[in-house]
Amino acid sequence: MMIAQITDMHVRAPDARCNGFIDTNAYLERAVDALNRMTPRPEIVIATGDLTDCGLPAEFVELRRILGRLAMPVYMIPGNHDRRAEMRQAFADSDYLPRDGQFLHFAVDRYPLRLIGLDSIVPGKGYGSICAERRAWLAARLAEQPDKPTVIFLHHPPFPTGLKQMDQIGCRDGAELGKVIAPYRNVLRVLCGHHHRPIQTAWAGTIGSVGPATAHQVMLDLVDAKPARIMMEPPAFHLHLWSPASGMVTHMAYVDDHAGPYDFRFDPDYPAADEEMELAATR
């Protein structure tokens, strides 16, 4: 099974621009095209929050229009830039978002991998939380299927990343969340967004991972005193490949095309040239 993870799309109403100049909608259109073109195609897409830039109804309309072009189902959780009521209304016909209750969290059991989406929003705040009520919900879900391979996703990283300004607005009760997850060896990844950069770490007995954004990235700046800034590094997404034999492997893929591919041409002086050329001949 292959899961594509897109994140931090920050969709705006038509003609509006994120941060005054970034055409995030066009970026998302390109990401959708790239996913639809893939061979093989991912079976599903997950979107780990900041789906829209301000959580406005017109933005969710645009989000729905663009994601409606995806050739595969998409499962979404909100980020700090989204609003629950507006998201719920825009996707009222979804078959996975809860119809009632405060939080937009869910478990999906129809794939070989179990998906658990968490809602880490604290309305009106940039930081996130998986509070006691949400942790109890997650604990109950994990206890239901302790052996099925499971992926958890939430917007705010619950682990430190070294991007200190972003970590200050991360998930504030990450340590408590880690205690809920740590006993479960079947949790293969905790997938996040928010930091607009690809990041991996060992955390809570599993692997914590942050996906790159489909539009603007956050500058790789490990100096404490500096505020987070935007860098227009290439837009990208994560591909999480899973099989019973090899477990989960994560690749980063760029949205846009690059020069190539070119065949390797081995210099006869290269010590392993014979072996490499033999392999090339079998292609």
Which residues sit at the interface with Fe ion, rule CB under 5 A? Answer: 8, 50
Residue 77 Cβ vs Fe ion, minimum distance, rounded to whole Å: 13
Q: Output 128 or 178, the one with its CB closest to Fe ion.
A: 128
Cβ neighbors of 164 (< 8 A, separation 6 or more) are 222, 224
Q: Please state the three-class secondary structure of 68-88 as a single string.
A: CCCCCCEEEECCCCCCHHHHH
Q: How many Å apart are CA 136 and CA 30, to the nearest integer?
A: 38
Can you tell me the distance from the alpha carbon of 283 to that of 274, in angstroms, rounded to the nearest whole number?
A: 15
Q: Please identify, using beta-carbon distances, which residue of 181 and 210 lies nearer to Fe ion.
A: 210
Minimum CB distance to Fe ion smaller for 8 or for 119: 8
How far apart are CB 80 and Fe ion at their closest, in Å? 7
User: Minimum CB separation from Fe ion for residue 10, in Å?
Assistant: 6
- Helix (H) and strand (E) counts for the chain? 7, 13
Distance between CA atoms of 69 and 167, rounded to whole angstroms? Answer: 34
Q: Which is nearer to Fe ion, 19 or 102 (CB)?
A: 19
